[in-house]
Amino acid sequence: MARIPTICPFCGCGCSMYLVVDGGRVTGVEPSPANPINKGMLCAKGWNAFEFVHSPDRLTKPLVRKNGVLTESTWDEALDLVCSRLTGIRDTHGPDALGFLCSAKCTNEENYLLMKLARSAFRTNNVDHCARL
Amino acid sequence: MAGLAAAFGSGAMTNSIGEFEDADLFFVIGSNTTAQHPLIGTRIINAVERGAKLLLFDPREIQLAPFASLHLRQNFGTDVALVNGMMNIIIQEDLYDRPYVESRTEGFDELKALVSRYTPKVVEQITGVRSADLYRAAVMYAQADKAMIVYAMGITQHVTGTDNVKTLANLAMLTGHVGRHSTGVNPLRGQNNVQGACDMGGLPGVFTGYQRVNDPASVQKFEKAWETTGLNTKPGLTITGMVEAAHSGSLKALYVMGENPLLSDPDLTHAEHALGNLDFLVVQDIFLTETAALADVILPAACFAEKDGTYTNTERRVQLSRKAVEPPGQARADWEIVSELLSRLGCCGTYPDTESIMREINALTPSYAGITYRRLASGYGLQWPCPNEEHPGTVFLHRDQFTKGKGTFLPCEFRPPAEAPDEEFDLTLTTGRIYYQFHTGTMSRRIEILEREAPQPVLEINPEDAKRYGIRTNDLVEVESRRGSIRLKAEVTTRVPRKVLFTTFHFAESPVNRLTTSAFDPVSEIPELKGCAVKIRRCS
Ligand code: SF4
């Protein structure tokens, strides 16, 4: 059994918690006792934050729409398609025909890379995230 | 963000969660703190129990209400008038911090001239708050030694959202309640990495750390680091602008990472049409969300438990989260997916792990320069600005001077909400969050005990209105706006004032954003999710 330090995925308080891992599965949550934000506490959302992790309806394979239907695909095919379609649209309609939405749920590193992808690879500043909503 | 940045030079929460323990007074407005930020709500309640005062402004009888020394239930969308009225009293009664105003701020005369028109009588007419109560509130806030203003989406999700924030900043500067321990203007972010997404340049006009895309020195720095030339220097579209552009056909493709704009966007039908209009939609997510169902390509992502990375909480604290388990099936971490795309597209940089990405962020972002994995691994995170590896991080901002030098008073006139009730649509519907569910429910609705506590949306309606329409608790009602209608169960309660209905936006089966307007604040382009005119009837 291992205890891995993580941050609650819900609100902006950023409570720190350990995920209890047993046999490759998350089996529980323990609040960090010394972290200055939550000091050993969590709210009901935090206490149950791990439950959706092993949900049976998680997405597990890349899907590509073929003849109108989402169809299982490989990473190679899906990423190839993403690159060729985005590049094609940029070449035909210009960089500002593309938009990128970062995420208030993803990490800093991930948001940085997506911002870099938009600005460096595609030359567009159409970059935003949903949290202004 | 835009409002605070204009006044102070930084849009972030000025103070820290730990400082709640020493404050003498909390001015809470537009934040249902115990529901949205439970552990901050707990801190406020604990502080009240040790003797701090709570000044609460909320039309609804929220859970914090019984703890308030004074709870004012202003009319919907009238916050600017209310706070202008308080400032007028504070200036008239000479309760403002004159030395602070003189040495640290600019624009006082303009502020004074504007707020002088907001006499208690005028304010009462607009807000419904009685003069005596307004006076008490003004005196309480001005005379507190350490007063913290706390707000959330209830302030920003209005057509006047930026004005609301500027007005709160004006109040804090006028009384010297910013730049000290346990004071400040404190926006509480709704999701765990809103602050980080902004800090990382997930905005149309800035790179990381708010370095502008049209500032030549910043452009040069990023071009050098990214081994490229010819970066676009024109600020891009906001999400609201992108939805419009998709609608009109000028935006052809959208790449969505870990968001469900279909359910969180205002005027859902409009957004649905806009996304349907795209030539190409990519969605990277952990579940088949409403947005993903429309995608051309869906990339399965890892969730927080399945990857390393950092998150920046509402008080600017960057914290490290570690991978606990493997992602299901072929799902991959978002950073791995995007990094693979970068290399397929020939961009520089290889990223074997998330630490290598943070090193690039450190090098390009002065406020994050000292926030390294080595330091994060051994402590409880670091609060930016943290300019070098020896720097301890910053607990509160604007200590001796504002980020931009002098703080600027930015006086705002009251403007009524975009859609006022009329004869046909005679009620105001406002939306918010509840304790047991989170945002669009993608994650929280899959948690059994949360779903048991709050399995369906309810519509709160005041007893007087309920009587007028013959509605009782548990009746199925239809709520209709100019854009659409939804059906849900009613709960008759005095938590909401007359003429106001309240519900949440967590539930896909009665998506309240079918009703809300996409009218938005002209500066921040945050839509007015907080209110629209509706009518109601009981379904037979
Ligand atoms: S445990 Fe509750 S208060 Fe803490 S971050 Fe999670 S949702 Fe927010």
Residue B389 within a domain: no
Which run of H or of E encompasses B5? helix B2-8
Task: Please tell me the distance in Å from B469's CA to the nearest CA on chain A.
Answer: 32
Mean pLDDT of chain A: 92
Question: Hunting for tokens 């129990």 — which residue is that?
Answer: B49
A-to-B residue pairs, Cβ atoms closer than 8 angstroms: 436
Report how far ligand 1's centroid is from the alpha carbon of B323 (Å): 19
Burial-class residue B227 by CB neighbours within 10 Å (0-12, 13-18, 19+): exposed
- Does the distance separating the beta carbons of B196 and A101 come in below 8 Å? no
What is the model's pLDDT at position B185? 93
Q: Are residues B167 and B212 in the same domain?
A: no
B236–A53: do the CB atoms touch at under 8 Å? Answer: no
A13, A41, A51: residue to mutate for ligand 1 pocket, most atoms within 8 A of CB: A13
Nearest CA in chain A to B358: A109
In chain A, whose CA is at the least distance from the CA of B326? A24
Helix A108-116 × helix B334-344 angle, to 10°: 20
Q: Is residue B487 part of a domain?
A: yes
Nearest atom, ligand 1, residue A31 CA: 1
On whether both B284 and B347 belong to a single domain, the answer is yes
The answer as to whether B253 is a domain residue is yes
Domain boundary among B188, B214, B238: B188
Query: How far is B500 from B62, CA to CA, in rounded Å?
Result: 14
pLDDT of residue A41 exceeding 50 = yes
Predicted local distance difference test score (pLDDT) of residue B335: 97
C-alpha B86: how far from chain center: 24
> Are both B230 and B365 inside the same structural domain?
yes
- What's the 3-state SS for chain A? CEEEEEECCCCCCCCEEEEEEECCEEEEEEECCCCCCCCCCCCHHHHCCCCCCCCCCECCCCEEEECCEEEECCHHHHHHHHHHHHHHHHHHHCHHHEEEEECCCCCHHHHHHHHHHHHHHCCCCCEEEHHHC
For position A133, what pLDDT does the model report? 41
Collapse the DSSP code of B311 into the 3-class scheme (helix H, G, I; strand E, B; otherwise coil) and give the result: strand
Can you list the domains of chain A with their CATH numbers?
Answer: 2-54 (2.20.25.90), 62-93 (no CATH), 95-133 (no CATH)
Q: Could you tell me if B172 and B256 lie in one domain?
A: no
Residue A96, C-beta contacts closer than 8 angstroms, at least 6 positions apart: A124, A126, B232, B236, B237, B250, B251
Question: How far is Cα B456 from Cα B470, in angstroms, rounded to an integer?
Answer: 22
Instruction: Supply the Cα-derived Rg of chain A in whole angstroms.
Output: 19
Comparing B480 with A110, which gets the higher pLDDT?
A: A110
Instruction: Assess whether B58 and B119 both reside in one domain.
Output: yes
Residue B71, CB-side half-sphere exposure with 13 Å CA sphere = 15
Is B405 a member of any domain? no
pLDDT in tens, B101-156: 999 999 999 999 999 999 999 999 999 999 999 999 999 999 999 999 998 876 76
Q: Which two tokens stand for residue B242?
A: 């992108």
If asked whether residues B250 and B307 sit together in one domain, one would say yes
CA distance B430 to chain A (A): 14
Q: Rounded to 5 degrees, what angle do the CA atoms B268, B272, B276 make?
A: 170
Residue ranges making up the domain that contains B285? 194-383
CATH code, domain carrying B286:
3.40.50.740
Domain count, chain B: 3
CB contact B450 to A (< 8 Å): yes
pLDDT of residue B129: 93
B263 in any annotated domain: yes
* Residue A41 with chain B: CB contacts under 8 Å: 39, 42
What is the reported pTM? 0.85
| Nearest atom of ligand 1 to the alpha carbon of B38 | 3
**Rounded to whole angstroms, how far apart are CA atoms B260 and B280?**
16
Burial of B149 (0-12, 13-18, 19+ CB in 10 A): buried
What's the pLDDT at B173?
A: 95
Q: Does B442 reside within a domain?
A: yes
The full DSSP string for B166-194 is: HHHHHHHHHTT-SSSTT-SEEEPPSSTTH
pLDDT in the model for residue B498 = 85
Alpha carbon B425 to chain centroid distance? 28
Ligand 1, pocket residues at CB < 6 Å: A 8, 10-11, 13-15, 38, 42-43, 45-46; B 37-39
For ligand 1, the distance from its centroid to the CA atom of residue A47, given in whole angstroms, is 8
CA B167 to centroid of chain Cα atoms: 16
The pLDDT of residue B534 is 84
Where b means 16+ CB within 10 Å and e means fewer, A17-27 reads bbbbbeeeebe
Q: How far is CA B438 from CA B36, B303, B446, B525, in A?
A: 8, 16, 11, 23
Asked whether the beta carbons of residue A44 and residue B332 sit closer than 8 angstroms, the reply is no
Q: How far apart are CA B504 and CA B491, in angstroms?
A: 13
Same domain for B160 and B244, yes or no, is no
Tell me the nearest-neighbour CA distance from B88 into chain A, angstroms.
Answer: 31
Round to whole Å and give the CA distance between B386 and B366: 8
CA distance B205 to B198: 11
Residue B517: its pLDDT value, please?
A: 55
> Ligand 1 pocket test: which of A6, A10, A19, A32 has the largest number of ligand atoms within 8 Å of its C-beta?
A10
Task: Name every chain B residue with its beta carbon within 8 A of the beta carbon of A118.
Answer: 255
User: Which residue's alpha carbon is nearest to atom 6 within ligand 1?
Assistant: A46
> What residues in chain B have per-residue pLDDT under 70?
1-2, 154, 156-160, 263-267, 418, 433-456, 505-531
